[in-house]
Amino acid sequence: MLLRNLLLDRAARRVTLNGAEVKTLNRTSRTLESYASKLRGNLRRPGAKGRGLLDSHRHPPRTNVHPRPLVPAGVWVERKNFGKQTARGMQMRSRGRFRALASTVTAERIDSARAVPAALLAVGVTALLAASGAQAATVTIGSPSISGIPPKTIGSLSTLVATASPQEGARMTSPISGRIVRWRIGGASGGPFRLRVMTPGEGLLYVGGAMSSPQTPSGTDVQVFSASLPIRAGETIGLDNANASDQVGLGFMPGAGVASWTPPLPPGLGIPATGSMPDTELALNADVQPEPTIASVTPAAGSIAGGSEVTILGSDFSGATAVRFGLVPALSFSVLTDTRILAISPPGSKPGPVDAVVTTPAGTTGALPPDRYTYTACVVPKLKHRSLKAAKKLLRRRECRPGRVTRAYGAKKSARVVRQGHKPKSILPPGSKVSIRIAG
């Protein structure tokens, strides 16, 4: 939001707003300092009445300014729709009386040297709070703690999968569908290594799935690598090595277990494990970001012209890369929190419902009733040969408004529509006016 510059000039004894002079104190008993002090006093005392800065010198209206909690004392709050002046941040309550809006307050401190934008502090704090709340919620699969597991030489080209872990909170399979965004390996050397998605079957039968790009660890401590692997609920992760001399963390832990395939398990094939290592913990885990879901769209309808502010509520919106209405991208969008997105609707091609769609690195929301957004429009009906009363009634039913009515010379009460301002079936923004000419 653009803040207006409010300046006091002692030398010229004038007050300027955005470079335009709005107040000059020449032959008056009040000095510039007392004038500013009076303004500060009015704003410091909620409900106090006095002259406003945008008022005329001779005939100022009475005003009642209520500063919001974020606006400190000594701050001028701008007003909206004051005569020919237009300012932001106020709402008219009655003639000459105004009220500050919480969402649109803009203010600057009255200062003899320069105007200080006090609202910037509130905006910054709000932005920080929103950023701190927009953290992606992830689920870890594999061994929760992999530090300190000693390295062991694998001895062949293999696929390794952890089948059990006694650690508290350990998940061997993913409880959600989403995308693996990062993975960790401990006690590893050599390489490169690849993370892979596996689908468990009966016993030790697994089906090989997609693999990540190869990664080479820089040390035997816990290494973290980014990834973008889709995974479905019930699937697990495995590790492929590239050399027989490669090492990975494989430590003794009662109750743990590791299955292996030598050679590595081919993608798309289901093969029972060729080996197993009981009471062995594999130093491997991965973070899964859930797919986004939409719970509601508010408002649920808007103009076909677009430009409506739409709030999308749901879950797992962090890192959203796109928002669409049907097949059309939103004009703009902001991820406020992990559960809230503010989007501007694009123009629609025709009236009716479309699906609001959110895309994140973990996937795309599905088409479900809660994500429906309906475009409303004035669909111009055919008015010719109808009476004026019937034509107006039909226009209102079609989200249109009767416009200018022109009567031909000598038109009677039974006159009919002979011409209309827009062709039938024209699609206009809701509330558009349609002019009518009647004759007969």
pLDDT tens track for 314-345? 999 988 999 999 999 999 999 999 999 999 99
Which segment of 2-16, 169-183, 293-307, 353-367 scores lowest on mean pLDDT?
2-16
Q: Which two tokens stand for residue 395?
A: 């226009």
Q: Which two tokens stand for residue 420?
A: 């209309």
CA distance readout (Å), 182 to 91, 111, 148, 178, 332? 49, 52, 20, 12, 29
Tell me the pLDDT band of 136, cut-offs 50, 70 and 90.
Answer: low
pLDDT at 36 over 60: no
Q: What is the pLDDT of residue 6?
A: 42
Is residue 226 within 8 Å of 289, Cβ to Cβ?
no
- pTM for this prediction: 0.58
- Specify whether the backbone of 96 is left (phi greater than 0), alpha (psi in -120 to 50) or beta: left
Q: Are strands 223-231 and 178-185 parallel, antiparallel or unpaired?
A: antiparallel
Q: What is the pLDDT of residues 271-286, one digit of tens each?
A: 899 999 999 999 999 9
Q: Which two tokens stand for residue 187?
A: 């006690």
Q: What percent of the chain has pLDDT over 70?
A: 69
Question: DSSP string of 115-140?
Answer: -B-THHHHHHHHHHHHHHH-PPP-EE
Q: What is the arithmetic mean of pLDDT over 253-263?
A: 94
Q: 177: how many CB neighbours lie within 10 A of its CB?
A: 16
Q: What is the pLDDT of residue 363?
A: 86
Q: Are strands 433-439 and 293-298 parallel, antiparallel or unpaired?
A: unpaired
Tell me how many helices (H) and strands (E) the chain has: 3, 36
CA distance 409 to 425: 29
Q: What is the arithmetic mean of pLDDT over 62-90?
A: 36
pLDDT: which is higher, 42 or 312: 312
CA distance 421 to 437: 8
pLDDT at 3 over 80: no
CA distance 192 to 215: 5
Amino acid 67 reads P
Is it true that the peptide bond before 200 is cis, omega within 30 degrees of 0?
Answer: no
User: What's the whole-number average pLDDT of the chain?
Assistant: 76
Q: Which two tokens stand for residue 361?
A: 């690195």
Q: What is the pLDDT of residue 214?
A: 95
Burial of residue 117 (CB within 10 Å: 0-12, 13-18, 19+) is middle
Q: What is the arithmetic mean of pLDDT over 150-158?
A: 94
Q: What is the arithmetic mean of pLDDT over 234-248?
A: 95
CA distance 416 to 198: 74
CA distance 440 to 430: 30
pLDDT at 39 over 70: no
Q: What is the pLDDT of residue 137?
A: 76
pLDDT: which is higher, 229 or 91: 229
Tell me the pLDDT band of 362, cut-offs 50, 70 and 90.
Answer: confident
pLDDT at 24 over 70: no
CA distance 336 to 292: 14
Is it true that the peptide bond before 299 is cis, omega within 30 degrees of 0?
Answer: yes
The three-point CA angle 304-309-314 to 5° equals: 110
pLDDT: which is higher, 49 or 303: 303
Q: What is the arithmetic mean of pLDDT over 200-229?
A: 92
Tell me the pLDDT band of 14, cut-offs 50, 70 and 90.
Answer: low
CA distance 214 to 224: 13
Q: Which two tokens stand for residue 18?
A: 């955005």
Amino acid 250 reads L
Reported as type and span, the H/E element at residue 194 is strand 194-200
